[in-house]
């Protein structure tokens, strides 16, 4: 079955989150981060404890945060050399900063009393990170459904990946759906990927290549997760693939996960010789990826990558419903991917 094409009336005035960090009066919102001391970290200096919770911060930055943004939950302003105790609760409060623009609008694909499925746009992170706090799917959901305190995301997609994300509307439903998504015998996930070249997969073919996590290319400069094919030491991983459309130097490939390893589709397709269009990490070698991290999307890299995001879309999902039956959802092919095929 061919993917549903995008509609012609997509909202061109989508919210990109340019002012999401501001209150209505124009002042910055306050971002809070809560740190709880577990028993195994009791006795550490406060600055050393903070380092365990936020490893990316330098010692100098941690000292500045403790002096100006951090206090214990009871209001006590501790010093860097303060010894922390088990059970203590510290709060970091900082003014929100402008965030990279990204689409904050989404379509609801399925909705009932206990489950929703939404179509996450490419570019919108699922959870907060160093650069994103308000411009995340989790935050947008909290804003859109303020009367649903138990609403939970049941899985995640990479920031650049678009498509189906399942939400549970109560805690019991969340536990059920998360368990079902973790069991590939009960859940089916179909992705669409646009790849370079013309794979010989007119009939369904299985990519079977064990995967393992690798250290970053340069942890001091490029803090990223990287996955490698390792047929000797890797964890088993299988992806079923089939070409559904061909267009000049590209092909649209349906990918069905038999296992759910991190970056599985991206690594499997690159290993097979047909990397995903726009994949900065796996499609064009380490030099291109490091250049992108150092310089951003220069005109030369934009031409090489073709798209500013990788061409991977979570097309369909089918899961058991907590009350019986199944939830089936399909997210139409986004306009940016359709344009590549055109």
Name the β-bridge partners of 23: none
245 CB-near residues (< 8 Å, 6+ apart): 2, 251, 252, 341
246 CB-near residues (< 8 Å, 6+ apart): 198, 252
List the catalytic residue out of 15, 158, 230, 328: 158
As given in the structure block, the two tokens for residue 41 are: 């970290």
Q: Alpha-carbon distance 145 to 154, whole Å?
A: 16
Task: Match 């690594």 to its residue by tokens.
Answer: 267
Known catalytic membership, residue 74: no
Torsion of CA 182, 185, 187, 190, to 10 degrees: 110
**Alpha helices, H only, 160-209:** 171-181
The answer to whether residues 287 and 248 touch, using CB atoms and an 8 Å cutoff, is no
Q: Alpha-carbon distance 268 to 236, whole Å?
A: 12
Q: Alpha-carbon distance 136 to 110, whole Å?
A: 20
Instruction: Compute how many other C-beta atoms are within 10 angstroms of the C-beta atom of residue 143.
Output: 10
User: Between 46-53 and 59-68, two packed helices, what is the crossing angle to 10 degrees?
Assistant: 110
Q: Which of 326, 333, 336, 2 is nearest to 166 (CA)?
A: 326
Report DSSP state, residue 333: P
As given in the structure block, the two tokens for residue 18 are: 């340019």
Report DSSP state, residue 248: T
As given in the structure block, the two tokens for residue 300 are: 């030369």
Q: Alpha-carbon distance 329 to 4, whole Å?
A: 12
Catalytic sites, residue numbers: 158
């Amino acid at each position: 079955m061919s993917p549903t094409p995008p509609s012609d009336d997509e909202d061109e005035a989508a919210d990109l989150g340019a002012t999401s960090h501001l209150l209505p009066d124009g002042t910055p919102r306050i971002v809070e981060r809560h740190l709880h001391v577990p028993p195994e970290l009791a006795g550490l200096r406060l600055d050393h404890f903070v380092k365990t919770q936020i490893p990316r911060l330098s010692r100098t930055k941690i000292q500045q945060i403790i002096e100006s943004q951090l206090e214990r939950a009871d209001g006590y302003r501790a010093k860097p050399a303060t010894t922390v105790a088990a059970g203590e609760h510290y709060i970091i409060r900082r003014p929100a900063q402008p965030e990279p623009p990204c689409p904050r609008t989404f379509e609801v694909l399925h909705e009932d009393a206990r489950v929703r499925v939404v179509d996450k746009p490419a570019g919108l992170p699922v959870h907060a990170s160093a650069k994103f706090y308000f411009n995340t799917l989790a935050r947008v959901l909290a804003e859109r459904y303020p009367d649903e305190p138990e609403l939970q995301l049941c899985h995640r997609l990479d920031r650049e990946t678009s498509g189906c994300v399942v939400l549970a509307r109560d805690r019991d439903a969340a536990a059920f759906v998360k368990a079902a998504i973790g069991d590939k015998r009960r859940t089916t996930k179909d992705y669409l990927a646009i790849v370079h070249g013309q794979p010989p997969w007119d009939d369904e073919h299985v990519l079977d290549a064990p995967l393992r996590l690798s250290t970053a290319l340069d942890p001091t400069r490029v803090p990223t997760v990287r996955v490698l094919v390792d047929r000797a030491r890797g964890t088993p991983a299988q992806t079923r693939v089939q070409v559904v459309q061909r267009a000049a130097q590209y092909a649209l490939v349906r990918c069905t996960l038999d296992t759910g390893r991190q970056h599985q589709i991206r690594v499997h397709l690159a290993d097979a010789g047909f990397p995903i269009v726009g994949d900065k990490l796996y499609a064009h070698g380490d030099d291109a990826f490091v250049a992108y991290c150092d310089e951003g999307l220069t005109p030369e890299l934009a031409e090489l990558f073709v798209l500013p995001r990788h061409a991977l879309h979570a097309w369909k999902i089918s899961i058991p419903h907590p009350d019986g039956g199944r939830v089936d959802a399909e997210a139409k092919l986004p306009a940016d991917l359709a344009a590549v095929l055109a």
